[in-house]
Amino acid sequence: MRIRPTPLIAVVAVAALAASACVSDAATPGNRAGEALFPATTIAPGDIVDGPSPDDPIITVVSGDPALVTGGNARVRIENVDNDTTVRLNGDDVTAAFVTTARGAREGVVSGLALGANSLAVTANGITFTENLTNYPRRGPVFSGPQSQPLICTTEQHGLGPPADDFCGAPTQVFWTYVDAEGNLQRLEGPPDSVSPATVELGGAPVDFFIRNEVGTINRSVYWLHSVDPQPAVGTINQAWSGTDSWNRRLVVNYGPGCGATYSQGTPSVDGGGDPALGGPVDVELLRQGYAVANSTFTTFATHCNDVLSAETTMMVKERFIEGYGVPDLTIATGGSGGAMQGLLVAQNQPGLLDGVVASLPFPDMVTVLPGVIDCELLGTFYQSDAGQPLGAEQRAAINGHLTSGTCPLWTQVLGPTFSPWQGCDPSLADDVFIPGFNPTGIRCTPWDAASHLYSAPDAEGHPEAPYDNVGVQYGLQAFQDRVIGVGQFLALNETIGGRDADGLPQAPRSSARTGQIERLYREGRVNQGGGDLRRIPIVLINPYTDPAGDIHDRWRVFTIRDRIGGGASTPPPNVALWTMETPLTSPLALTDYFASAGGAELAVLSRQAVEAVDAWASAAAAEVDGESANLTLDESRPEVAADRCILADGETTTGPDVNAPGGPCDLPFAGDPRTVAGADTESLVLQCTLREIDPADYPVELSPAARRRLERVFPKGVCDFDRPGQGQARLDDPSAEG
């Protein structure tokens, strides 16, 4: 829309009125980051409005959604204008912030945005065009909701000194390191010519391997930005970045593993480690290939298992990178275990933020993994009872649903504490933590308590309970049908299993979740349903095959994810590649040592190769032919490097669409979990099952009247019907136009 000349005072008055508006806590992500709202305008009284013209200026906030600007800055691009154009922010002239790019656009970082609404006015050829921007504080929140309290600040542990405010803020630091001739990372303390760094081939030329390290706080988290910077300037944080020509215009966002509710800003031991003096979690090999890399303590699930907070922090850190370094052509997520959950959920719930995902040791989400974890805890208690002790390893494995009987104990050991309200908080909070019977009003250390606004049922009072329900679950049903256990053992198991109360303690009755809470989790994206961008961007799933060793990262999870993205289709979705790495492990005792040594190194190499594959795949899909978009589908554009892959334990590697299929070289045995044994399918989407009457056809033997009465006492309302959607199971309120 074009607006003919209006006295500037009218535009300023409208902007000032808009700027007085308060920032809403209910803001949600809107258009894709960097998408032009063509052209956003403010119409003042008396304006004569013409229709849009192809020569009109196009104002684009390239650092993100103009409705979700943070930190008082925004990178803006203005096209179809000349150097005589003037730009005003809330009436102040900011034209000097803009420079002409190689493509003839005007681009610059506009600073000094007020909290709330702002107006950016562009005047060209006597006509004024405006873009409205809404600014949120650097400390957040934007759309994640109320910030959890308390928050233990750890800026000193991360080399940033004591916190500067009540939000764990700290001044930004920029310093340089370098990789020496032996491949070691060193701190640059003096002039660049006083050291002899290694060189890398980037941008078609050899450059000195200096690394720019930016460390600071955003959204109450500590963040890191790492990039090659061939011409460092020690002693300043304002030195212009010299790595533009050596950057491949790709940003890799790393998501850390685990799942916790620490009420902490994060610690080096869980957020990627590394020496703070050398830049913290630096991925030298990705930098060597020309990538820029971003990390944050709040994109580490071991710190806060909150995917909305992770997405918000991703958005804010990416925005900061774009403002200080430039606009990446692609943003690629990488992470393992809990890190894989984040990449997948961010792609689903915030379309446009990521252009590809590398997910190793993958789980789909925390919410649908949770039932199997608590089931394992309850089964572990049952196996200690008089009825459970006689069961052997083969019988327990058949009941648990895993390939070995060792998987359930490992689940209980690794994630059991995370889901107990008195375990997992930062150690400094030990005296303030909830203890049943001793400190009932203390801090509760579970993901649903730390983010209660995301997990509470609409009609709930007090703290939210775990989204866990096992009413109607026939534990060990498949084991009974296969005659691995007998009718007496099947009945005793289901009579004794019980549930967990609101405080995470064992109870005799089964656990019943609030249907309202369950429905909210589906609708608001806590459940991975293959929505958003998950069917529109390239994804590589990396499965180190460790099922025989009892690893919790079992193989059936990758098929769960594929099934959900594929909408339950029998064929793999065209945008997902599965890379299998067979391992020689057969004992759970070897898992930690393996991933701390050879296995971890192999997985790291494979993850970087997957980043390159996703890069090539997304680039091919977006390629231009004779200046026009090729508009290729991800199936058509998949390069050979992104083909499904099978790496056997002896190192033999084969690729192709059938390598992971039945009969292929990586047709490796795997199982499920206690819910699949009870009848759930591979998608594993049901959180609270729909009930049906007890059916004698379920059982391999005819039940005696006494056995039937026992079963009816256990399941007075019926048993799970996994052929029907669960109670409260709803479609995602998908933020994208498709999916």
Tokens of 648: 């056997």
Q: How far is 324 from 206, CA to CA, in rounded Å?
A: 24
Burial tier of 320 (Cβ tally within 10 Å: 0-12, 13-18, 19+): buried
Buried-state track 334-372, b at ≥16 Cβ within 10 A, e below 16: bbbbbbbbbbbbbbbbbbbbbbbbbbbbbbbbbbbbbbb
Return the SS3 of 104: coil
pLDDT of residue 601: 86
> How far from each other are the two terminal CA atoms of the chain, in whole angstroms?
31
Q: Which residues of 513-548 are buried (b: 16+ CB within 10 A; e: fewer)?
A: bbbebbbbbbbebbbbbbbbbbbbbbbbbbbbbbbb
Q: What is the pLDDT of residue 1?
A: 32
DSSP-assigned states of every residue in 83-98: TT-EEEETTEE-GGGE
- What is the spatial distance between Cα 285 and Cα 605, in angstroms, rounded to a whole number? 9
Q: How far is 433 from 430, CA to CA, in rounded Å?
A: 6
Long-range contacts at 228-231 (CB < 8 A, ≥ 24 apart): 228/200, 228/202, 228/287, 228/290, 229/176, 231/192
* Phi-psi group of 235: left, alpha or beta (phi > 0 → left; psi -120 to 50 → alpha; rest → beta): left
pLDDT < 70 regions, the chain: 1-54, 235-239, 271-272, 459-460, 589, 624-631, 734-739
Q: CA-CA distances (angstroms) from residue 551 to 365, 409, 603?
A: 17, 10, 15
Nearest to 513 by CA among 500, 528, 498: 500
Domains detected in the chain: 2-136 (2.60.40.10), 173-328 (no CATH), 367-524+673-720 (no CATH), 530-541+562-655 (no CATH)
- Between helices 487-496 and 705-714, what is the axis angle to 10°? 20
Our CA dihedral for 704, 709, 711, 712, rounded to 10 degrees, sits at 140
- Contact between residue 255 and residue 300 where contact means Cβ atoms under 8 Å apart: yes
* Distance (Å, whole) CA 556 – CA 477: 19
Give the whole-angstrom CA distance, residue 126 versus residue 129.
10
Say if residue 697 is exposed, middle or buried (CB neighbours under 10 Å; 0-12, 13-18, 19+): exposed
* Single-letter residue type at 513: A
Q: Helix, strand or coil for residue 625?
A: strand
- Say what the pLDDT of residue 237 is: 66
- Residue 165 CA: distances (Å) to CA of 111, 144, 157, 171, 345: 22, 21, 16, 10, 31
pLDDT at residue 52, as a whole number: 57
Dig out the tokens for 690 from the structure. 């729909």
One-character DSSP codes across 571-607: SPPTTEEEEEEE-----GGGHHHHHHTHHHHHHHHHH
Residue 624 has a pLDDT of: 61
pLDDT given for residue 626 in this prediction: 59
DSSP lists the bridge partners of residue 111 as 73
Is 239 in contact with 230 (CB distance < 8 Å)? no
Largest CA distance in the chain: 92
Query: Taking the CB of residue 733, how many other CB atoms lie within 10 A of it?
Result: 13
Residue 645: what pLDDT? Answer: 97
Identify any residues that bridge with 647 across adjacent strands, giving them in sequence order. Answer: 581, 653
pLDDT confidence of residue 12: 31
Handedness of CA 43, 48, 53, 57 (dihedral sign): negative
Q: How far is CA 507 from CA 504, 639, 720, in A?
A: 9, 53, 20
